Amino acid sequence: MNLIEEKYSKYELVREMLETAEIAGKFDPDVSARFVDPIKSKKGLFITGEGSSRLFPAKRSIYSSLKKDFMMPVLTEGCTQAMEYNLNDFAVFAASNSGRTKEVIRLVDSLKKKNHKPVFALTANKDTKLEEFADDTHVLSCGTEKAVAATKSVIEQGLFYDSLMRNLRGEKMEGLDKLERQMKEVLATPVDPEITELFKNSGIIYFAGRDNGVAAEIALKTNEITRKRSAFYEGTFALHGIEEIMNKGEVLIWIDPFDVDQDKFQEYIVEGVGVHVIAISSHKTLFPTITIPDGGDFAEYLQITAGWNLLVEAGIALGIDLDHPKRARKVGNEYAGQ
């Protein structure tokens, strides 16, 4: 995608996606430092939100934490289910870009009435109801998004929690300038027209990959941007009975395929069913691959932006208005209280 061709530049969604790289490059890791001591006073960290405000930011935080020496439990769940949990030992971080998401405010209000502390908030807007209820709030620098599908805010939320986890560990967050360059490269890389055509002609898009929020987030964006049905099967779950309902000609996007079991995907999914498996990876795979740079500790950000690039191409090929879904709303379930 680019801002030179009118087929891209006319969409707010594309402009916001392309702004994301600079937001990443300018991100200040110190913005989360003030939350460290209050979080350390508890036994664990609970990260919540709805939709894009939770899928990638929270799950990537858990994934990155579990890859390191144990520090404290880091958990996530949707806000309504979280109201059934005993969170007494947890610092709570609740994200809502609008600051008006009903489920988020309901949970924070419930915790406030129990005198639970600390309850922190992450938003992209100032002076919101969520900020009023929370003990402290960080407001993102990305500004309000005009497209319905959240993009730049998702990445900045991810970076905020990324910096928070590193600050909790006393680690530095370095290499954001390189991440900016790599994101720009990924977003500008042409997508093979044959891959776009396969995506366009598939009635459903399956996603496979680690449960780190990347594939789940791109699956959600598939609904919002291309109006295609999607399903995310974590790990190698696609090999455990799902092939029974797959059909020839459908597409499965595998994010950063495991080195193991690629042969089984080839045997059972590609050859056995006739599904087209397409990989997004920095490494060679058995499948047609959208190749991205090796992002190291920031690999997941590049995987998401590669997914965006594919979705934009598919959406344009399908003749869809990328900015204005017919049913989806910017604030999915808006708080209407006083």
What percent of the chain is helix, strand and coil (3-state, nearest 5)? Answer: 45, 15, 40
60 and 122 share a domain? Answer: yes
Both 189 and 146 in a single domain?
A: no
Do 157 and 224 belong together in one domain?
Answer: no
According to the model, what pLDDT value does residue 335 have? 64
Residue 49: C-alpha distances to residues 98, 131, 161, 268 (Å): 11, 14, 13, 36
% of the chain beyond a pLDDT of 90: 91
Instruction: State the greatest distance between any 2 C-alpha atoms of the chain, in Å, as a whole number.
Output: 57
Report the distance separating Cα 84 and Cα 44, nearest Å. 17
Domain boundary among 112, 141, 174: 174
Per residue in 79-94, pLDDT (tens digit) is 999 999 999 999 999 9
Band of pLDDT at residue 334, cut at 50, 70 and 90: confident
Do 143 and 60 reside in the same domain of the chain? Answer: yes
- Residue with the bigger pLDDT between 148 and 90: it is 90
Taking alpha carbons only, the member of 279, 267, 303 closest to residue 208 is: 279
Is 49 part of a structural domain of the chain? yes
Q: Which of 124, 155, 174 is the last residue of a domain?
A: 174
Residue where a domain terminates, one of 174, 205, 233: 174
Q: Which one is predicted more confidently, 318 or 338?
A: 318
- Asked whether residue 277 is domain-assigned, the answer is yes
Output the domain CATH number for residue 190.
3.40.50.10490
Q: What is the structure's pLDDT at 331?
A: 66
Range of the domain at 262: 178-317
Instruction: Answer yes or no: do 118 and 254 share one domain.
Output: no
Question: In the predicted model, is pLDDT for residue 338 greater than 60?
Answer: no
Q: What is the helix (H) or strand (E) element at residue 316, kind and residue range? A: helix 299-317
Among candidate residues 6, 9, 17, the one with its CA nearest the CA of residue 183: 17
Name the pTM for this structure: 0.95
**Res 183: pLDDT:** 98
DSSP string, 82-120: HTTS--TTEEEEEE-SSS-BHHHHHHHHHHHHTT-S-EE
Taking 70 as the threshold, does the pLDDT of residue 330 lie above it? no
Asked if residue 323 belongs to a domain, the reply is no
Query: In terms of domains, do 11 and 110 share one?
Result: yes
Same domain flag for 244 and 258: yes
Number of folded domains that form the chain: 2
Q: Look at residue 99 and tell me if it is in a domain.
A: yes
Q: DSSP per residue over 59-78, as a string?
A: HHHHHHHHTSS--S-EEE--
What mean pLDDT, rounded, does the chain reach? Answer: 95
Residue 124, in any domain of the structure: yes
163 and 184 assigned to the same domain: no
Kindly report, residue by residue over 24-35, the tens digit of the pLDDT. Answer: 999 999 999 999
CA pair distance 75, 257, nearest whole angstrom: 25
75 and 158 assigned to the same domain:
yes
Same structural domain for residues 100 and 244? no
Write b or e for each residue in 47-69: b if 16 or more Cβ atoms lie within 10 A of its Cβ, otherwise e.
Answer: bbbbbbbbbbbbbbbbbbbeeee
Q: How many C-beta neighbours within 10 Å does residue 95 have? A: 31
- Name the amino acid, one letter, at 254: W
Residues 247, 111, single domain; the answer is no
Domain membership flag for residue 325: no
The CB density around residue 200, as the number of other CB atoms within 10 Å, is: 18
The reply to whether 129 and 184 lie within a common domain is no
Q: What percent of the chain has pLDDT over 70?
A: 98
pLDDT at 162: 98
